[in-house]
Chain A
Amino acid sequence: MKAEKAVAVGRQLKRKQFTPLPYILLIPTMVFLVVFTFYPLVNCIRLTFYATDSIGRPGAFVGLRIWKKVLNSDEFHRSIVNTLKYASSIGIGTFTLAMLLAYMSTKNVKGSKVYQTMFALPIALASAPIAAIMTYVFSKYGIFNAITGSSKIWLSGKTLFPTVVFIVIWANSGSSFIYLLVGFRNVPLELLECADLDGASPFTKFFKIYLPIASPQVFFVIFLNILSAFKSFAMIRILVGTGDSELAVLIVKLYDYAFVRERYETGCVYALILSLVIFLVSRIQFVVEKKVVFYQ
C-alpha cells in the first residue's frame, strides 16, 4: 500500500502536468516590465516621429525631420565629443584609482577591514551632498585654495572639466575598488609564494600575477565605469548645470530638451542615441572580453 503510494507520488513528480501557478507568479513582474520598460521604450521611438505638445502628446507626423535636425546640429556633435571625452576620462581615472587602493588592500590582515571600509565608502555617498561639500572645497575661499595657496575658482573656466572629473572619479571609485579587491584576493597563495621565492618584485607580481588573474574583474570595472559615466547626471547637473558647457554630455542634453525646454521628441532622440551608444559599448565589452580575459 505504502509502496504503491510512493510510486504514485514519484510519477506525479516526474509528470509535467500543466499548472497555471508559474504564470500567476510571473504576472506582477511582467506587468511592470511591460508598462515601465517596454511600453516607454516603444513610445520613445514613436515620439521621435511626431511634433509633441508641452505635455508630451504626439501631434503632427513629421517623419525623420527631428532626427535629421538633431543629427545635423553642432550641439549634437559637441555632445558626442563631450560624452566620449568625459566617459573615457572617468573610465581610466576611476580604474586607476580603484586599482591602487585595491592592490594596497590585497592582504587580509588584522585592521584591514578599517581601511577597506573607508576605500569602499563612496558607494554610500549620494551626489547631492558630495556636490555641496565640493562646491565649498573648490570655491574661491575654499579649503583647496587655503591648502595650495592659489586663488582660482576651480569649478569654472578651463579648470571646470578636470575638477568635475576628479570629483566624479572619487565618488565612483568605491564599487570599482570592491570588484578589484575580490579579483586580487582570488590570487592563489602558492603562486605568490613561488614568486617570492624567485625574488619577483612587487611591480612584477602586479603585472605578471595579479593583473592576469584578476583580468575578469579588471575588464568588468573598466567597462562598468565607462557605462556608468554615460549615465552620470546628478553630479553634472548640480555642479555645472544643464546649459552648454564642456560637460553637456548626451544625458544632460536629454534632460535639457525634455524637461527644461519640454521638447520631448528631441529629448527622445537623444535618449535613443544614448542607449545606442550604451548598447555599442556593451557589445564591444562582450566581444573584447572573449579575446582578452583569462578565466582560471
Chain B
Amino acid sequence: MTSALQRFLPLIVTTAVLVVGFLMCAAQFPNFASWRVVGNLLTDNAFLGITAIGMTFVILSGGIDLSVGAVIGFTTVLLAVLIEHGGWHPLAAFAVALIAAGGFGAAMGGVIHVFQMPPFIVTLAGMFIARGLGFVLTTDSVPINHPLYGELNDIALRFGAGGKLSLPAMLMLGVVVAAVVLAHWTRFGANLYALGGNRQSAELMGVPVGRTTVAVYALSGLLAGLAGIVFSLYTGAGYSLAATGVELDTITAVVIGGTQLTGGYGYVVGTFVGVLIQGLIQTYITFDGTLSSWWTKIAIGVLLFVFILLQKGLLTVWAGRGGEPAEA
C-alpha cells in the first residue's frame, strides 16, 4: 500500500510545510496563533485562492492561463463602471461580469482547440485584450459606494476570540469544496485528468477533447471573474491595473500545491494549501516588521524551487521503479 502514500506525498509535504510554518510563526510571535490571524489569512487570500483553483483545472488539463490577473482587473473596472456610472444594481452587474469573464475564457479555449495554438501564447493575447479593455473603460481608480457593498462586507461568521469568516473567505471555501467534487467525482473531472495525462490517448478513449478544453478555460475565466467580484468587495473600487502579476502568484500556488505543470496529476486541495503558504509568508513578514517586502518574493522563489526539485525527485523515484507514472 505504499502507492497511496506515494501518490499523496506531494500533498502531505505541502500540508506539513504549512503546519510547521504556522507553528514556527506561532512560536516566535505569541499573538500569531489566534483565530483573528487565521480569519484574515483566509480573507486576504480569498481572491487569489479562487483564481488559483481555476488555474489548477487548466494546468491539470495540460494548459496554462496567463489572462487571469487581467480578467480580475477588467472585472473590477466593469463592476465599478456599471454600478457607479451606469447606475446598475450590483447583483445585475455581478451577473454580467461573470458571464463576460466566463465567455472570455470559453473564447480562448475555443481558439486554443480549433486553431491548435499553444495555450501559453493565446492566453497571453487574452491578457493583453483584457487589460486593454479595462484601460479603454477607464484608467482611473473608480470607488464603488453602493450600500450593498457595505452590507456584503458586514456579512461574517464569527468564531473563537476575534475570529471572523468573511464573505470572500466563505466564497473561497465554497469554491474549494465544489472544485474537489468537480475534479474527483464527476465525468468532467475524469476527462480533465485524462486529457492532461495524454491527449492522444484521451482522444482515442472517446474523451470529448474540444468540449473539455473550452469548458476548462471557461471555468478558469468564470472563477477569475468571481475573484474580480471578491477583489472589488475587498478593495471597494475598480481599477484596471488591479491584480497585476496574480497569474504568476496562482501558478506558483499550483506548483507548491504539488500539481504537475505537464498536466494530468495534482490535487485542488494542494493548491488551496499553496495559497495559504504564500499568505503565511506575507503575514510573517508583516508581523516581523523589520524584514522588507522583497523578502516575500525571494522566499516564494526559493519555495518554488524546492517544490519543483521535490516533484522531480519523486518522478525519478517512480520512474526508477517502473511503476506509478504521472496519473491520478
Is chain B found bound to chain A in the same assembly? no
B residues contacting A by CB (< 8 A) are none
